[in-house]
């Protein structure tokens, strides 16, 4: 995949992204998911996103609202529709597709 200088996100540039990441404590998988999400958002959604990390070990009652069945799970709350991605978010292409961020070549 071509990166940064050769691609721009192919979506409405006025949209704000409201993301919620459910994790369970400070496991390696949870920490990787947080790191990967921060990297992807910085690269593709700079200045137009908010991330709320919810540790289900501290606040398990919040899992029911978004119907979380596995962790880590990323929930895109905005823009609608709501979407979920399960895993540590290490597969960047899968995350971009799951979030509907479609990089396209400038040339």
The verdict on residue 84 lying in a domain is yes
| Residue range 27-42, pLDDT digits in tens | 999 999 999 999 999 9
What pLDDT is stored for residue 66 in this prediction? 86
The verdict on residue 29 lying in a domain is yes
Number of independent structural domains in the chain: 1
- Is 44 or 10 the better-scoring residue by pLDDT? 44
The verdict on residue 78 lying in a domain is yes
Q: Which structure tokens are listed for 67?
A: 């119907």
Please provide the size of the chain in residues.
107
Give me the torsion for CA of 38, 56, 99, 86, rounded to 10°. Answer: 110
For residue 106, pLDDT over 80 is answered with: no
For residue 6, pLDDT over 90 is answered with: no
Quote the pTM value. Answer: 0.82
Whole domain around residue 47: which residue ranges? 17-99
Q: Are 10 and 107 in contact (CB under 8 A)?
A: no
The verdict on residue 57 lying in a domain is yes
The verdict on residue 32 lying in a domain is yes
CATH number of the domain that residue 92 is part of: 3.40.30.10
The verdict on residue 35 lying in a domain is yes
The verdict on residue 31 lying in a domain is yes
What pLDDT is stored for residue 80 in this prediction? 92
Instruction: Give dist(CA 101, CA 44) in Å, integer.
Output: 8
Predicted confidence band at 7 (pLDDT cuts at 50, 70, 90)?
very low
The verdict on residue 43 lying in a domain is yes
For residue 102, pLDDT over 90 is answered with: no
Average pLDDT of the chain, as a whole number: 85
């Amino acid at each position: 995949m071509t990166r940064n200088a050769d691609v721009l996100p192919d979506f409405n540039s006025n949209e704000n992204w409201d993301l919620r990441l459910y994790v369970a404590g400070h496991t390696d998988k949870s920490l990787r998911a947080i790191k990967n999400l921060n990297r992807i958002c910085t690269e593709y959604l700079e200045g137009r996103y908010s991330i709320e990390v919810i540790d289900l070990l501290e606040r398990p009652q919040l899992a029911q609202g978004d119907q979380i069945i596995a962790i880590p799970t990323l929930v895109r709350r905005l823009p609608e529709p709501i979407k979920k991605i399960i895993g540590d978010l290490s597969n960047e292409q899968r995350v971009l597709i799951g979030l509907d961020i479609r990089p396209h070549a400038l040339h």
